[in-house]
Amino acid sequence: MDRIVIVGAGHAGCQLAFSLRACGYQGEITLVNGEDTLPYHRPPLSKAYLKTGREEELLLRGESAFAENQIQLCRNTAQDIDRTRCELRMATGRPLPYDHLVLATGTVTRRLQVPNGDQGVYYLKNVTDAQALRAALPTTKRVAVIGAGFIGLEFAAFAADAGKSVSVIDLADRVMARTASHEISAFFEKRHSQAGVRFRFSRKIVDVVRKEGTVCGLLLDGEELIEADLIVAGIGVIANSKLAEVSGLETDNGIVVDRYLTTSDSCISAIGDCTRFPTEYASHPVRLESVQNANDQARSVAEKLTGKKQPYTAVPWFWSDQGADKLQIAGLTGASDCHVMRGLPEHNKFSVFNFHEGRLVAVESVNQPADHMVARRLIAAGTRVDQALAADASFQLKTLIQ
Ligand SMILES: Cc1cc2nc3c(=O)[nH]c(=O)nc-3n(C[C@H](O)[C@H](O)[C@H](O)COP(=O)(O)OP(=O)(O)OC[C@H]3O[C@@H](n4cnc5c(N)ncnc54)[C@H](O)[C@@H]3O)c2cc1C
């Protein structure tokens, strides 16, 4: 295989390019970068970068690393794929021929749909968004955050710490309702409230209110007005599968891939946030938004393309830093039917063990990195964990690892 082309230079695409070299691949690698910057870490955009503004700390790799590894960074946007000729067509310039193509196109921001439109509403997806927020913050007094998911809460914690008056509004009845257990939601709601954040749950945004063109608040159902001079929406993302769709690949809330991360065309793989893939950790194919998944899928495809084909089986894990607290999740919480607490929320250090039909499926840890690390290994090995032992904080979980 002489030419591998990767579309998207985020976590997944960039990791793949370097993993291919680490696996000994000697052919051409072209990494199509749709953004104007060198590839960068996204998680700090809602965390440290808001404070420091240090862009050099965001870079995934220094500029010289691309040249040293003979990875051609190509600033362009891929528009469609001629699958018969095996060519990628770009917004500008000549088509790029490939022997294998990898789509790592990530996600696009879900935008607020309200009658007056979302003009003046901030989002937090890329470095330009984060720069705009940093520029707006010094003159801001009141912040309204739409969405009590990871990004909304991380931003709310930062804004409250910076002395802003912060309100968080969500359609759901608790924080992180889509991904976290009730125990974790209760803990984080309390911690954010203690930091001064005010929550409005089970509430719908009716419209954005402006005075002489400037945002001044949010109108909620029940005619409640939340006054705000800065509105940030963290209402999720949508798989960026446009390129796959226009090229006739199978998509269904993401680019559909098999256990080897191959799309419906055997010459095209897909990795990262844009994929929907089968996993032994869920009863149905899933699409995950995490750095772990992007990196591990990239490594798996690098191995496949260099002759070590294995199904993708990595245990999903995720983290979120909210104020002084770190949440880490190993496994997928979706299917759990029983929760066991290990440690006490009052001590700001505990884990919630999620079981499904007696089997450990996920562990949510707050300020307990050791529990998280053990949990990843227990879930990967499919170790049977006794619920009473899981609840006993004096029991050394690592003794269960074979
Ligand atoms: C603010 C923020 C905080 C986060 N915090 C965490 C966290 O704490 N922990 C965690 O695990 N995850 C976190 N995430 C999620 C994590 O960043 C994503 O899961 C990860 O970036 C996915 O990597 P990816 O390469 O699949 O997609 P992306 O990083 O989204 O990269 C996709 C790239 O493809 C490019 N692209 C798309 N279409 C084309 C095209 N046609 N041509 C050329 N280029 C194209 C895009 O411009 C983009 O650069 C966070 C995300 C955000 C936005």
Among 291, 297, 300, 329, which residue has the most ligand 1 atoms within 8 Å of its CB, making it the best to mutate? 291
**pLDDT band for position 93 (50/70/90)?**
confident
Which residue from 28, 38, 31 is spatially nearest to 13, judged by alpha carbons? 31
CA-to-CA distance for 363 and 397, rounded, in angstroms? 12
Q: 17-63 pLDDT, tens per residue?
A: 999 999 999 999 999 999 999 999 999 999 999 999 999 899 999 99
For the chain, the domains span 3-108+237-305, 127-233, 324-400
**Which protein residues touch ligand 1 with a CB less than 6 Å away?**
7-13, 32, 34-35, 42-43, 45-46, 77-78, 104-107, 124-125, 151, 240, 243, 272-273, 289-292, 294, 318-320
Give the pTM.
Answer: 0.97
Q: 357-397 pLDDT, tens per residue?
A: 999 999 999 999 999 999 999 999 999 999 999 999 999 99
The mean pLDDT of 264-269, rounded to a whole number, is 98
Nearest residue (by CA) to ligand 1, atom 49, is: 10
Residue 222: the pLDDT is 92
At residue 194, does pLDDT exceed 90?
yes
At residue 345, does pLDDT exceed 90?
yes
CA-to-CA distance for 397 and 337, rounded, in angstroms? 21
Q: Which atom of ligand 1 is nearest to the CA of 154?
A: 3
Cα Rg for the chain, rounded, in angstroms? 22
CA-to-CA distance for 252 and 293, rounded, in angstroms? 18
CATH number listed for the domain at residues 324-400: 3.30.390.30
Q: Which atom of ligand 1 is nearest to the CA of 107?
A: 30
Distance 41 CA to ligand 1 centre (A): 8
At residue 166, does pLDDT exceed 90?
yes
CATH class of domain segment(s) 127-233:
alpha beta
Residue 268: the pLDDT is 98
Among 42, 154, 268, which residue has the most ligand 1 atoms within 8 Å of its CB, making it the best to mutate? 42
Side chain identity, residue 126: N
Q: Which atom of ligand 1 is nearest to the CA of 79?
A: 41
Residue 401: the pLDDT is 87
How much of the chain exceeds pLDDT 70, in percent? 100
Distance 108 CA to ligand 1 centre (A): 9
CATH number listed for the domain at residues 3-108+237-305: 3.50.50.60
How much of the chain exceeds pLDDT 90, in percent? 98
At residue 402, does pLDDT exceed 80?
no
Residue 34: the pLDDT is 96
Among 105, 108, 251, 328, which residue has the most ligand 1 atoms within 8 Å of its CB, making it the best to mutate? 105
Q: Which atom of ligand 1 is nearest to the CA of 46?
A: 1
Q: Which atom of ligand 1 is nearest to the CA of 129?
A: 1
Q: Do the first three CATH levels of 3-108+237-305 and 127-233 match, i.e. the same topology? A: yes
CA-to-CA distance for 126 and 40, rounded, in angstroms? 9
| Contact between 364 and 352 (Cβ < 8 Å) | yes
